[in-house]
Every structure is written in structure tokens, then in C-alpha cells.
Structure 1
């Protein structure tokens, strides 16, 4: 991805592990076994919560207030969606013209140690849109790349802003973090992240905020298409924007901006 000096290439994650030597035990542990176990535990916990909720609600059929309170406490509410506002409809119309769709990729990921992390929708959405051309965004590739994006984006924020208390494994991310990335002043400046362009469809504003990395403009068009990530933001949540079939759109950042403006959608680009 990007310039030859990039230290991180997510496509290298597609390569499988080397064949084990003959003296290694025949017992093979899947490299992501801990993640599968964690996900299974999460599903089991959700099923237990649902069963508890159904049991409690069934035993109190006539107390509507109690039923509502139990339902709210036992079933986590999804991120709020303001619905069809004039601003969001304007952006949705642009997606329709472009043949794109929103894709919710969730908000949980795993750390390097296998710990479940929440509030990861920002990084997951970027990774899923960026890597949409690879088997429609293979799940493990997206997860691994999202975690790497998180580490490098937060490193850029720390480098530019200093000791930022809002950073952390489960801290909520903000789009203005990307303004730190495009400056290329952190250790991540040698990474493929500086060759990316990330366009945020801000549904509450009805416009597009784009952040162009230092190396993006020098790339050939085909590489610019590959290195463009599209993200939909609504209050409290981020979603990937992909082609209608889940794959990659054949469009670069400048073409997106031109089409947006032709549809009366305001677009702004932040560059280094």
C-alpha cells in the first residue's frame, strides 16, 4: 500500500503462517483461538442476558413501567440515530447517486493480547472501507488493520497534542484526530497511513469532511482509489461506506469531492 517506504502493509496479513517444522508437536493451536473464545463468551453472555430479561418480563406481565425499566437495563441500547433529517437525507441521496451504501461493522475489537475493546467503530469503519477490495473486507484483516490504525492514529494525536488524556484502549475516537495524522509528524509518518485519504460523511451537518495524507496526492489514480476510505458518521457511531455489492468504489478523493459539489453537498479537505 502506498509508498515503498511504508512500514505497515495490511495486505501482508493475508499470508498464512509458515508450515511447522517436523519436530514441532502435532497439536496445532489456531493463532486467533483466543479471539474466537472471547467472541463465544460474549455471545453466551448476551444470550444469558436475553434469557434473564425474558424470564423477568414474563413474571411481571401487568407492570408496564417495570417491564420498560428491566428491558432498558438488560438490553444495551444501540447508538442513537437521529433518523431522516434534512442533512442526512442530502448525504444519503449522494450515496444513492454514487451507488454506495452504509455498512455497520460494529464497535468491538480485540487488543493484541485478546482483550475485548469497545468504542472501536471509528477504526473498524475506516479499515472496512479501505480494504473493501480484499474479499469484500475480510473480517480478520479488517480487525487487525483497525487495531493498527488505532495505534498509529493515536500516536499521531499524542505527537501533535502532547499528553492527551482522552486517548486509551476503549476511549471514544473523534474525526479531528485525522487532522493530526495528515501532518505526518509522528513515528507513523513512515507508515501507509500517510498515503490514505479518509472522507467522513457527517450526517448531522449534511457535508463531507476529508483528510488527505501527505503521500496521497502523489499516488497514481489506481492507488488513490485503493487508498480512499469512506466513513459515515452519525451521533455516537461510525459506519463504513462501500459499494452496493460491499466492495470498493472506483473513485478517488478529488472525484468524490467534485461529485459531491455537483449534488450541492458541501465538502472540505484538510491537507498537510
Structure 2
């Protein structure tokens, strides 16, 4: 074999090795760019900025909780301190998120419907909403406090799925899991959930929802016994988060500028 032929064969072998390495050990720049564009098209933001959605935490268990009272009183009349706190926090929220807001009506109970009337001028109409989890606290006849926690999430088949946790709480707030079979914890039936609730008297119901608005923003909301417990909203490059909003003594908020 001549030197020229040997050189050509060596070059061909080198090219084949490089091609094989690129094929098996990494995507091409074009493929990586296409994947980035797919993420951008799906989310509207650069791929490196995409983060998993935040999940709201359930309210802490109150081992001394009594069944919630029924009836309606305007928040200003029921708890003047809470109404004043809402007025102040909403002003802070407007500044943090650079939002226009309506005035808070003193003659209403503060729940999602009335809260939404305050914050929606810049957000638009509610497009859809999803329930992320529920937490139902019951007190058994022997005084034990239990929590029935159901988390909703998409399954591999893109259908809704539910996961059940059943816990008991001691007086110091420590928890222990109560025995359930794998079949009971995965996609529990409504009949099973109802039977667990029947083990005691319901003292608290909490639900977490994500509400999507026509401007593209979404509000993460937790309600406890029909009243707002916590909320989080991202708008105009900042995030405003509050918790303990059901009582003036625990109402805390923070503003964060997003990178």
C-alpha cells in the first residue's frame, strides 16, 4: 500500500471515530439549540430560567383546634387588626409587584372572591384553576388529632392522580403515619376518604389552588376553612408571598426581586 493510500485511510478512520463519538456521547449543537427553543416556545422564558412550580405548604396542625364557626361577619368587624393588616400588606404588594389594585371593601369577608376583586385590574380574568392538595383535620372520639392529606398531580398518562397520607398528631405536634395499603394511598376513592373523615369530627379544611389569569400570571393560594391562609404571586419581575393571613398576629409577607 502506498503512503498516499495509507494517509487517506487514516483520515477516513479519524472522521468515522469523531462521528461515532458525537453520535453516542452528546447532542449536536443544533439539537441542543432546538431543545432550548422548544422550552422557550412552551414556557415563554429562556430554558435556563425554567423552574419547577412552587408547592404551597399546608397550615400547621393546631392540636387544640375546635370545629370552625359558621356564619358571616365583615372582616373589619370580626377582626379589625386583620383588616388593617390586609390594607397594609396590599399596599406593600402593589409596590413590590408594580400593580394597580382596587380598594379593599370593609363590608366583606376576605376570601378568594373578594381578594381577587382587589388584585385583578392588572391580571385580568381568571382563565382556569387547579386544585393542588387538600388537608382535612379531624378529632377522634378519644381526642386524637388526625390529618387526611391528598395531593393531586399529573400521572405518566397525563391524567390526574391522587396520593393520600394519613397521619396522627400528638399534643406536642409530632406526627406518625397511620397504616394504609399501597392501593389506598394511590388514587384513593371518595368512599375511602369519606370513611376516614367519619373516624372523627372535622375541625379544619384547607385547600391549595393555583389560579391562572388571562395576562399569564398565576396565583398560588391556600385557604383554611374558607379564609385565605397564604398566597404567592409573581408579576413584573418580582414575587410577593404571604402566610398566616388568617390571623393578624401571624400575618407575614415578603417581597423578592427575581433574577
TM-score, with structure 2 as normaliser: 0.22
Greater share of strand: 2
Larger radius of gyration: 2
Greater RCO (CA < 8 Å, at least 6 residues apart)? 1
Greater share of helix: 1
